[in-house]
Structure formats: structure tokens, C-alpha cells
Chain A
Amino acid sequence: MQSETKSHVDRVTSPSGFPVAVLRFEGDIASTSKDAVLGTYQGLPKESTKLILLDFTRVDYINSSGIALVIQLLIEASHTGQTVCAFGLSPHFTKVFTMVGITKYSRLYPNEAEALAAL
């Protein structure tokens, strides 16, 4: 019943010239999204991936279990010195992410251009 979470990684360069890994998600993010969220992140080479963007532009629905997966990703990233930011959340989910405190550990941007410009 839940829309399967699709994910893939794009490699881009920020305007400042830094390499950035963009994790793009699509569909629902819920308890069944562990492989798509954490699995995709864990597949990144940690030594050479220091800047990561999470793209939620094509995510329709995130529940608290999905938010917990994002938090687990942030926890793992913090252990390896990676910076993680996110963009593309709807105003509602931007509010929800702020409510649970994610913005204390990951900045949110309205779109990819603004996210890249900040890196």
C-alpha cells in the first residue's frame, strides 16, 4: 500500500567548486524505506564524500518512522564528519522537520540551487 521509496545518487559540483553527492528520493518515506534511505547513504564512499544533499522534491509522504531514518542517517554522517543538508520539502514537512529538531543538525533549503549555493 505504501509507495515504494526510490532513490539514486547524483554527483554535482557546488558553485564554490566542491563535490556534492545528492541523494534523490521519490515516493513515500516510511518504516519500509530503510534500504532506500540508509542503504543508499551507506553506499557512498565515506572518505571522498564530505558534502551530501538530501532531495525530497519528489517525496509525497513522510511519517515519523521515515523521519527516524533521516535522523539515523544524520547520526552516521556526524560520526564521519560529513555535512548533510536537505531541500525540496513541502512547507508542511519543513515545519515537521523543524518541530522534531532536525534543523539543529541539518539545514533545510527550498530548492537545490539554494542548497548548493550555501555549500
Chain B
Amino acid sequence: MTESKSTTVEVRLPTRMGYEKVAMSTAASVAKLMGFPEDRVEDLKTAVAEACINAIEHGNRLNEKLSVGVVLSAGADSLEVKVIDDGTGISKQPPRPDIDRKMHGEEDARGMGMFLIQALVDEAEWVAGSDGKSSYVRLVIKLDKNSD
């Protein structure tokens, strides 16, 4: 029986806007080591950035006493990224952004982060922490998208 090995990289970010770039760089480095093509690496970077921004701004509410955990697990054919904050998680998914409504002032111009995450990675899952904190979003990109 062949055991599949995974490699784990963990990063702890301060709850401060801008530090999502550290997680982006780390995720990009791991993805490149795994052999992901450049376009998928860029997709992952943006998705990780948006997840970290949400954790910083909404999960941890910009409280600099808290930190954001980023755990990258490199498997044989996929890379999983978990972004963990001390928030209570999302109660419901926001509606898909509508550019027409935004342009007509019927919808906030912001609020595209979750949509981008879902559009750029193969799997995205939001999990609320059971203790009212330690919520996380789990992102997965697959080396071969057809290998399910």
C-alpha cells in the first residue's frame, strides 16, 4: 500500500491590512514547488489574499491583539490552504455580486471577496468554529482538475 505524504507549512499573520501579502507569497512558493502552472499560482494568490483580508477585517475585526493562521497542506495532487481567524464565521453566503446593480448604486461596490475565492479555486468551504471562534475557510487547488 502506498502512503500519500503531505507537507505542511504554517504562517501566523498579524491582524493588520497588508499582511495578506505574506500569505500570498508563501502560498505561491508552495504551489510553484508542487508544479502548479503560473496561471493557477496567480489564482491561488488572489484567493488567499481575499481570504486573509476577510479574516483580518471581518473575522478578527482588525483587532491587532489577534492573529490569522494560515495552514498550507501540500498533498500528492492538491494544495489545501486554511485561513483561520477568531471570528464566529459567516452566517450566510452573500449574494453573487452584480455589476449592473453596483453601477446603478443598488449594491455596495465592495463585497466581491468571497465570489472571487469561489471562482478562482477548485474548492472553497467556510466553516464556523464550534466554540464561537477559530472559524476558517478551506481552499483547495488541484494539480489536475480532471483527476476526481
By a beta-carbon cutoff of 8 Å, the part of chain A in contact with chain B is 1-2, 30-32, 61, 63-65, 67-69, 71-72, 74-75, 78, 90-92, 96, 99-102, 104-105
Contacts and interface: CB of A to CB of B under 8 A. Distances in A.
B135 to A, nearest CB: 19
A70 to B, nearest CB: 9
B18 A101 contact: no
Contacts of B46: 63, 92, 96
A64 B116 contact: yes
Interface of B: 16-21, 39, 42-43, 46, 49-50, 53, 97-100, 102-103, 105, 108-113, 115-116, 119-120
Query: Chain B contact residues: over half helix, strand or loop, or mixed?
Result: helix
A64 B120 CA distance: 13
A72 B17 contact: no
A71 B100 CA distance: 11
A75 B19 contact: no
Contact of B110 (A61, A64, A75, A78): A64
Contact of A100 (B20, B105, B116): B116
Q: Is the interface of A mostly helix, strand, loop or mixed?
A: helix
A75 B102 contact: yes
Contact of B99 (A64, A65, A92, A101): A101
B17 A71 contact: no
Contacts of A92: 39, 42-43, 46
Nearest to B105: A75
Contacts of A2: 17-18, 21
Contacts of B108: 68
17 contacts: A2-B17, A30-B18, A61-B49, A63-B46, A64-B110, A64-B112, A64-B113, A65-B53, A68-B108, A68-B109, A69-B109, A74-B103, A92-B42, A99-B119, A101-B98, A104-B99, A104-B100
